[in-house]
Amino acid sequence: MAGSALASQAGGADSGDDCVDHEFWLQRWREGRIGFHQDAVTPWLREYWPGLGLPAGSQVFVPLAGKSLDLVWLAAQGHHVLGVELSPLAVEQFFAGHALAPQLSESRYGRHYRAGNLELICGDAFGLDDEVLAGCAAVYDRAAMIALPPPLRERYVDGLYACLPSGCRGLLITLEYPQAQKHGPPFSVPEAEVHGRLDRDWQVTALARRDILADQPGFVAEGVTALETVAYRLDRRA
């Protein structure tokens, strides 16, 4: 199930807002504590991405990309994939895992790894701007927004999402649960918050909602009483 794969990122999560610190994520990659990584393409990506109707060759932005197999799937659809990831280990493991020898270059955004129509910037997502994102026709957010606590979610949307151009389309996948019952990451991002943060600049359309608590014994063990995953289509207003 799509939700099962999504919520798997809770595995091994630490509590508290120290997760916003760069060292927190770098250490998790060094120690291999990457329960958020999926070993299969996200089912809801396969199901809902074609509905965006993107032309062949469109550039797709993937924030907090990790070494996700979703990147390869998007590239196989004929897209140019532009991801950003903080951890050098994640980026190197991604290309090595697919037997790709990327070309390297440096910019003010970080180190760029390019192989075919795949490009990953090893750097801070919050350091990107409208210049590097100007050509993005779409955004795919499966694990970025839910990785961030509320103060950083505000900065993320007001900064990074605001840099995406008019006409950009996207697929956003979130989790919802009673936040008081569990520390993130992943964090609960309620539908009201999604609309509250995005409605000014984006048309937000809920595509699907699924109860996945029965598939997530880790959440149940922590006392979580409800858990849903939600998929949204996003359309950037002019």
Residues making up the binding site for S-adenosyl-L-methionine: 29, 64, 85, 142
Rg of the chain in Å (alpha carbons): 17
Strand order in the sheet with 202-211: 103-107, 110-115, 118-122, 80-85, 59-62, 136-141, 169-176, 228-236, 202-211
Residue stretches of the annotated binding site: 29, 64, 85, 142
Selection from 31, 36, 226 nearest residue 147 by Cα: 36
H-helix or E-strand spanning residue 59: strand 59-62
Q: How many residues are present in the chain?
A: 238
| Cβ neighbour number for residue 57 with a 10 Å cutoff | 10
| CA–CA separation, 16 and 108 (whole Å) | 31
Selection from 95, 100, 45 nearest residue 74 by Cα: 45
Local structure of residue 63 (DSSP, 8 states): S
Token pair in block for residue 87: 């951890």
**DSSP-assigned states of every residue in 159-227:** IIGGGSPTT-EEEEEEEE--GGGS--SSPP--HHHHHHHHTTTEEEEEEEEEE-GGG-HHHHHTT----
